Amino acid sequence: MTDAPLLVTDRDAVRVITVNRPDKLNALDSATLDALHAAFDDAATDPAVRVVVLTGAGPKAFVAGADIAEMAGLRPAEGRDFSLRGTRMMRRVETLPKPVIAMVNGYALGGGLELAMSCHLRIAADTAKVGQPEINLGLIPGFGGSQRLLRLAGRAAALELCLTGAPVDAARALALGIVNRVVPAADLEAETMALAGQLANAAPLALRGILDCINIGGECAIGEGLEYESAQFGLMFATEDMREGTAAFLARRKPAFTGR
């Protein structure tokens, strides 16, 4: 196992990024945040990559939080800078024009849950636990936890998880809408890669349009969001993939999308 903070591998059109600090339960320090930002920049610009899967090394944790040893000595301005560093990285993930799937293989706590929530989809092992335990350190979420929990799970759940700091199991996370699917731990990789493969075979420009509509339109008033969707819908008619998709449907064959 390399000492690099990340492991990056490609499986056809799926890029797998693994946070590689298992001895620290994959805690996010500054170096790892920067490495993740760079890795997602690379994925965004690599035309061979259509989908990204993000996970953590080892059997225990997806990411168990930010690195407390690094945070403990920070002064107020340094703490704000650390928060902004993580927030910018997670916005890089959230705004990636390609689907990102979090493969939650264990604890996703604090910064780990924040990282998972910045992904577009989340598949969790039935043994996983998620939470925002910052209150137990005299802190609050600093990488977007309060805001993304509010949007994913609603006000009541966001307040409960942030105020109590208590983790919830995968089944409750599914019920709250924090994760999309829960699967047996033994099946997690296979299920995640099957979904990634399905998305990798879809029309890349349409995937990007859907991500933009939901990410941008979701922050607008309904009228503005509908106008944005109509504009994006119209743009699809300029793509070769739209012509291929409709022709394949009419010919009753499988489409071959090229991203053009």
Distance CA 153, CA 81 (A): 27
Cα 45 from Cα 23, distance rounded (Å)? 31
242 shares a domain with 114: no
In a domain, 258, yes or no: no
Residues 217 and 104 grouped into a single domain: no
In a domain, 50, yes or no: yes
The residues of the chain scoring below 50 in pLDDT are none
In a domain, 13, yes or no: yes
HEC profile of the chain: CCCCCEEEEEECCEEEEEECCHHHCCCECHHHHHHHHHHHHHHHHCCCCCEEEEEECCCCEEECCECHHHHCCCCHHHHHHHHHHHHHHHHHHHCCCCCEEEEECCEEECHHHHHHHHCCEEEEECCCEEECHHHHHCCCCCCCHHHHHHHHHCHHHHHHHHHHCCCEEHHHHHHHCCCCEEECHHHHHHHHHHHHHHHHCCCHHHHHHHHHHHHHHCCCCHHHHHHHHHHHHHHHCCCHHHHHHHHHHHHCCCCCCCCC
Q: How many CA atoms lie within 13 A of 188 on its CB side?
A: 25
191 and 231 belong to one structural domain: no
Kindly state the tokens that stand for 120. Answer: 């577009």
Q: Are residues 157 and 224 in the same domain?
A: no
Residues 56 and 147 in one domain: yes
pLDDT digits (tens, 9 = 90+) for 140-166: 999 999 999 999 999 999 999 999 999
CA distance 238 to 112: 39
- The confidence score (pLDDT) of residue 1 equals 54
Give the chain's domain count: 2
49/102 same-domain check: yes
Name every residue whose Cβ is closer than 8 Å to that of residue 23 and which is 6 or more positions away in sequence: none
So what's the pLDDT on residue 154?
95
CA–CA distance, 8 with 19 (Å, rounded to integer): 9
- For residue 257, is it within any domain? no
Residue corresponding to tokens 């071959």: 256
Residues 124, 21 within the same domain: yes
Which has the closest alpha carbon to 135: 172, 118, 160?
160
Task: Provide the domain limits for residue 247.
Answer: 204-251
Q: Are both 176 and 91 inside the same structural domain?
A: yes
* Residue 216, domain CATH: 1.10.12
On whether both 129 and 219 belong to a single domain, the answer is no
Let me know whether 63 and 119 are in one domain: yes
Q: Look at residues 93, 119, 97 and name the one whose alpha carbon lies nearest to residue 108.
A: 119
Which residue, among 234, 235, 242, has the nearest Cα to 259 in the 3D structure? 242
User: Can you give the pLDDT at residue 218?
Assistant: 85
Instruction: State whether 91 and 74 are in the same domain.
Output: yes
- Which residue, among 6, 86, 87, 100, has the nearest Cα to 44 in the 3D structure? 100
Let me know if residue 164 belongs to a domain: yes
Would you name the residues annotated as active-site residues?
A: 114, 134
- Identify which of 96, 94, 177 has the alpha carbon closest to the alpha carbon of residue 130: 177
In a domain, 101, yes or no: yes
Instruction: Check whether residue 154 and residue 243 sit in a common domain.
Output: no
Distance in Å from the first CA to the final CA of the chain? 39
Residue 1 domain flag: no
Q: How many whole angstroms separate alpha carbon 183 and alpha carbon 177? A: 15
- Would you state the pLDDT for residue 98? 97
Which residue type, as a one-letter code, is found at position 86?
G
How many CB atoms lie under 10 A from the CB of residue 160? 17
pTM of the model: 0.95
Domain contains 256? no
Write down which residue in 166, 182, 200 finishes a domain.
Answer: 200
CATH of the domain at 131: 3.90.226.10
